[in-house]
A and B are shown apart, each in its own frame.
Chain A
Amino acid sequence: MNLGSQPGEGSKKKSGSAFGRVARYTAVRIFTLFVTIIIGVYLTIMIANMGGYVDEIMRGEIRERITMQVVANPANKNLAPDARNKLVQEKVALEEERLGLNRPLAVRSLNYLSNALTLNLGRAINMTSDSGSKQVRLIILERLPSTLLLMGTANLFLFFVSIFLALGLSRRYGSFWDKLIITLSPTSAAPPWFYGIFLILIFAAIFKVLPFGGMVSAPPPENPLDYTLSVLEHLILPSSALIISAIFISIYNWRTFFLIYSSEDYVEMAKAKGLPARDIESRYILRPTLPTIITNFALLLIGLWTGAIITETIFQWPGLGRTMYRAIGLYDTPVIVGSTIIYAYLLALTVFLLDFVYALVDPRVKVGEGN
């Protein structure tokens, strides 16, 4: 990618080597992204296993858990120590085999990696999906709709409202509303769950107009319309918490970003020429900022995948954030790797496509040109 010319210069060089240049660039880009993914995922595997120390932790936990299970079973009360120890040892061996602890981490880590790269997400070690399956695919997929609903609602609202308001503010630099947003922007220092607690207290505990948490009322309504309305009702507080915690800083960031472009000479020239404000915004401010906006939007979309761990917990929202948190706590490597690899592929694909999108929206950009 190369910023080759000034806006308006209209560089449209075409050459016979353009296809080869793009093809070469594409191949190199794909290769480097793939290597990056391999390194990133392998690091995730090793970190999730603490470089092998998790094996020790799990061995200890298995022995404690199985011992307590054997002791707690009244049928084993009269077992002699030898018979009881034999029973424990047999169960421990089975459990270690089930969890793959009888194989070295180096071997397991390569298995995890190859499975991940081929999107063979496999089976979880300890976790089950909401419906009871141990397939990592289902563990993730069953939580995906609720995650996308919450994160999508909040983040898309945030994104578009922020840009819309920021554009307006950039035209009213120093106005009351501009100063109000600047003043309120430190409120974003508090995380969403902080606001979530207050919202629950106010609207659920005191006014009793909105639910405390969950995705739908219990028991869930059987009528699809009632179900949808119930979900929307439950969506209000968590999405509000996510929005409130980020809205002011987001507007402030975009407004500052647009301000920089608003003060460019060619914008001043346009203003001097008496062009309508809307035209100035769309042609002279939005267009050169489009790559940045698109980048942010694309990253936002794949960011929806990650969920919001603590906010989901506060609101008992069945999202992927809580799933990942639980997987980390249980050292469930396949689930951690499964979620990571999907995010990694999405990120790589986004980065790869963005290069081409930049070239489409910004004539100054040439794919594969330069170093």
Chain B
Amino acid sequence: MLRNRLMTVLGLILVASMVLAACGTPAATEAPAAEAPAATEAPAEPTAVPEPTAEPTPVPTTRKGGWLDEIVFSVVDADAAVTQIQAQAIDIYASGLSSADLPAIKDAGLKYSSQNGLYYELTFNPASEFATGALNPFSSAKVREAMNWLIDREYINQEVYAGGGLAKFFTITTQFPDYADQAEVVRGLEAKYAYDTEKAKAAIDAEMLAMGAELVDGKWNYNGAPVTLIFLIRNDSDGTRVPIGDYVANQLESIGFTVDRQYKTSSEASPLWVLGDPADGAWHIYTGAWSATVIDRDQGDNFQFFDTPSSAYGFSPLWQAYTPSEEYAKLADDLAYNRFQNLEERKAAFSRALELSLEESWHVWLIDGKNFAPYSENVEVTYDLAAGIDGAQIAAYTLRFAGQEGGQMKWGQPDLLVDPWNPIAGSNWAFDASAQRGTTGAGVMYDPHTGLVNPLRIERAEVTVTEGLPVGKTLEWVDLAFEAEIAVPAEAYADWDAVNQKWVTVGEKFPEGATAQVKSVVYYPADLYETVKWHDGSNFSFADMMLGMVMTFDPAKPESKLYDESRASNLDSFLSVFKGFKVVSVEPLVIEYYSDGYSLDAELNVSTMWPQYGYGEAPWHTIAIANLAEENGELAYSADKADAAEIEWTSFIGGPSLEILAKYLDQAEAEAYIPYASVLGEYVTAEEAAARYANLKAFYGEHSHFWVSSGPYLLDKVFTTEKSLTLKNFADYADLADRWAVYGEPKIAEVEVDGSANVTIGGEASFDVFVTFGGEAYPQADIKTVKYILYNAKNEIVAVGEAEAVADGQYVVNLTSEMTKAFEAGANKLEIAVVPFPVSIPTFTTFDFVTAP
């Protein structure tokens, strides 16, 4: 009997323990302090080359390629990332974890990178009339504008994102260059639209009454029925849009609306808000989220994209329902296409567009999310401020164990080897690209802190721009000039004749002559063909580049044996801006490139023609055998063509493709095959072709794949079912491992302000500003601007100006008696905005002071 009771009790304890374990609440976590908002700006004029990094590596190395012997990629669940690093099962988890994981990363004592996550907003249905006859408050710009005051963005940041995000008011990203460039404008608007429920309620009350609604027992009614807002709240993705939606719904209910909260996945919501007719009245608000994974130095096109019917989202009935004011629509289009004479004009237009975007509020922006990628204390890596580690070109080039050369690094990420790899139209998954980047060489290296580029394989460049275009330059390696008209030489190549397999010159295509908006001339080093090697041991040659250009054209031509319908539209868009290229000299290599497309930065107007196809880098001979397979109808580069022909999608790394490629490698080797011989035959001999195929055969025999690149690591082994792969150091790489060691920690300025906390109205006042990094004074040459913004007691901007430089890291803000006379007695604020050159992130700091007579 006693035993029976004991067993019963034991059973109950077991069940209770399981229930409790399942219901356990997460441990309380420390809310990290929000990081200062920041970013860089489009350069106004040429400046000295900034020191891009914090600390150079002290000891030179003789090691070539990457710092590590091996990088082993494997799939690790995000939930287990921190635990696995602690248990030393992996060294780095390269994909960003959400803000909610930041406290756990810190508690575990791990290092981490910070990168852009999703950014969140409210999308409104602007339809003026609903088919249901119901009232749509958001047809009114005043109501939409008032939503800015109704929402406490900092509350969302702290409660939902553990303080890891940034309050967001604008379509542009809070830490990107345009934000920094508009520092005084954005800070003024942020102050104007700061959280203020009373102001929101007053504005919405007035507008609702004007629309014929009435407040009955604290609830808005229209035609005798409650005004019910249908709120589509996304419950998938990262899950944070549920608490955001609930918070916003609560706020709306608090001012008299009835809210119908409909929790939906992307698939369920998309047919309603993207494809549905807004006039159907099926919804009022939607919780949107977008992403910006590269440092975009020109976000002027965001106004058009988000707020006007001429957006790329113009296919959506919702975007067609947007009716921006004439002024805003014009500004949005002008900013999208940079229709300005100079950068000052653009800046003024940008400022006005920012104001109008908030007044019209087709969207209300909430949070710029941040993600965090954790790694062991003994790991060092340079990460991109927007793309993080897994999305950064530079990451694999700098990844290492601290103070050590060599070693095996275990790299975890959420998925891997998702789709077939081929350079022309293979996998476009970020999980695959993260591994490919370590293997890939390029003409230029993206600056992880500014979004500009630096020479990697090229030596220097000259950029010529048509006069009147708003283009500037920052770095010394590029020369910028302006000309009234840029004529494209008649002998330059402008198109491809797929029938006769030859280039069409500008003279043939444009008999009347052609001009371009931009010309770039790229100079490669004299030893390019000796120092740069492919992973199979073949030397780089100009034929690799020439085939890259041919492949841009040929598969898109219906007459080609490689014709792929899905490529044709790409070529159309390419040709709409491409004007021609000319090989000035093969040895040393100098190439001119002409285009009508341009960026605001001269550095980003350089076209290198490096054989980096859309989905990977490749030498001409691997493309040649894949071309043979495609010409014979056995493989296809693109999924579209493969599906249409019901053949395999070309994979250089696994599956049935390998056998087929191996077969054509044998054939190519036997025939010393030179693809597009009418063009490439000028640069490749039959002996060189045979040697390349022999190299490839040996490489395939050793590594069992055809992924040949020229980066610091080569793809050693791929395990498709096991979902892992190994990158191995490429000892024949052209550069030393420490080439990019100059990029250390992002050099985000640290700013302190000191001065009197009491200022006499009508008197003079002075404030000292100290700008440092890592305890050292920030060199004046590296600082683009130190602005001050003066707020009065009503949080209105009363003055904006430049601080005066005193010495490296020291500035002063002097308030004249005229300026202090404008204050009333009370608490005021001085805000300092520091914009450095080496990073795109500005730093803001405020100093409070009291004014009295």
Contact = CB atoms under 8 A, between A and B. Distances in A.
Interface residues of B, number: 83
A219 B4 contact: no
Given A85-B315, A218-B72, A131 B573 contact: no
Nearest to B272: A60
B33 interface: no
Contacts of B315: 63, 67, 85, 88-89, 92
A212 B85 CA distance: 11
A183 B11 contact: yes
A87 B722 contact: no
Given A67-B312, A76-B573, A78-B337, A218 B270 contact: no
Interface of A: 53, 56-57, 59-61, 63-64, 67, 70-71, 74-81, 83-92, 94-95, 98, 123, 128-134, 138, 142-143, 146, 176, 179-180, 182-184, 186-187, 189-190, 194, 198, 200-201, 204-205, 208, 211-216, 218-220, 313-314, 316, 318
Contacts of A98: 639-640, 643-644
A57 B267 contact: yes
Given A131-B656, A182-B11, 10 more contacts: A74-B599, A80-B337, A87-B572, A90-B568, A132-B419, A133-B651, A143-B721, A186-B11, A213-B80, A218-B73
Contacts of B310: 81
A170 B402 CA distance: 63
B573 A87 contact: yes
Interface in B649-665: 649, 651, 653-657
B18 A132 contact: no
B74 A79 contact: no
10 closest A-B pairs by beta carbon, nearest first, are A131-B655, A132-B420, A218-B74, A132-B651, A60-B270, A218-B724, A132-B655, A131-B654, A183-B11, A78-B597
B651 A131 contact: yes
18 contacts: A53-B271, A78-B577, A79-B577, A81-B314, A84-B312, A94-B640, A98-B644, A123-B643, A130-B417, A131-B654, A134-B648, A205-B87, A211-B89, A213-B77, A220-B724, A316-B76, A316-B723, A318-B722
Nearest to A64: B274
B583 interface: no
Contacts of A187: 14-15, 18
A125 to B, nearest CB: 8
A334 to B, nearest CB: 11
B14 A77 contact: no
B76 A212 contact: yes
B74 A70 contact: no
Given A63-B274, A89-B315, A131-B656, A183 B10 contact: yes
Interface in B81-135: 83-84, 86-89
A179 B7 contact: yes
B87 A212 contact: yes
Nearest to A133: B655
B275 A59 contact: yes
Contact of B313 (A67, A138, A216): A67
Nearest to B412: A218
Interface in B529-585: 565-566, 568-570, 572-574, 576-577
A132 B657 contact: yes
Contact of B301 (A59, A60, A77, A212): A77
Instruction: Determine which residue in A87, A134, A190, A201 has the highest number of CB atoms from chain B within 10 A of its CB, and name it.
Output: A134
> Chain A interface mostly helix, strand, loop or mixed?
helix
Nearest to B597: A78
A214 B569 contact: no
Contact of A205 (B86, B266, B421, B639): B86
B15 A189 contact: yes
B717 A219 contact: yes
B11 A184 contact: yes
A326 to B, nearest CB: 10
Given A67-B313, A87-B572, A88-B312, A130 B720 contact: yes
A60 B273 CA distance: 10
Interface in B712-728: 717, 719-726
B642 interface: yes
A142 B722 CA distance: 11
Interface of B: 3-4, 7-8, 10-11, 14-15, 18, 21-22, 72-77, 80, 83-84, 86-89, 266-268, 270-271, 274-275, 301, 305, 310, 312-316, 337, 410, 417-421, 565-566, 568-570, 572-574, 576-577, 596-599, 639-640, 642-644, 646, 648-649, 651, 653-657, 717, 719-726
B14 A214 contact: no
B789 to A, nearest CB: 32
B720 A132 contact: yes
B613 to A, nearest CB: 13
Contact of A190 (B18, B75, B420): B18
B721 A133 contact: no
Contact of B722 (A75, A79, A212, A215): A215
Contacts of A67: 312-313, 315
A61 B270 contact: yes
A220 B726 CA distance: 10
A201 B655 CA distance: 35
Contact of B89 (A60, A87, A212): A212
Contacts of B305: 71
Contacts of B77: 213, 313-314, 316
B312 A214 contact: no
Nearest to A55: B271
B764 to A, nearest CB: 49
A77 B275 contact: no
Nearest to B83: A205
A77 B4 CA distance: 77
A71 B290 CA distance: 13
Contacts of A76: 573
Given A130-B720, A132-B651, A183 B726 contact: no
Nearest to B315: A63
A333 to B, nearest CB: 14
Contact of A64 (B73, B87, B270, B596): B270
A269 B749 CA distance: 93
Given A133-B656, A212-B80, A61 B267 contact: yes
B436 to A, nearest CB: 14
Contacts of B10: 183
A211 B646 CA distance: 40
A319 B572 CA distance: 43
A219 B726 contact: yes
B234 to A, nearest CB: 13
A309 to B, nearest CB: 14
B569 A85 contact: no
Contact of B573 (A83, A216, A218): A83
A83 B719 contact: no
A146 B721 contact: yes
A318 B89 contact: no
A362 B326 CA distance: 87
Contacts of A204: 87, 89
Contacts of A75: 573-574, 577, 597
A183 B7 contact: yes
Contacts of A92: 315
Given A87-B569, A318-B722, A71 B312 contact: yes
A66 to B, nearest CB: 9
Contacts of B421: 132
Contacts of B312: 67, 70-71, 84-85, 88
Nearest to A131: B655
B3 A216 contact: no
Nearest to A100: B643
A303 B4 CA distance: 36
A311 B640 CA distance: 34
Contacts of B410: 218
Given A63-B315, A88-B315, A212 B15 contact: no
A220 B18 contact: no
Contacts of A89: 315
Given A131-B654, A219-B724, A79 B72 contact: no
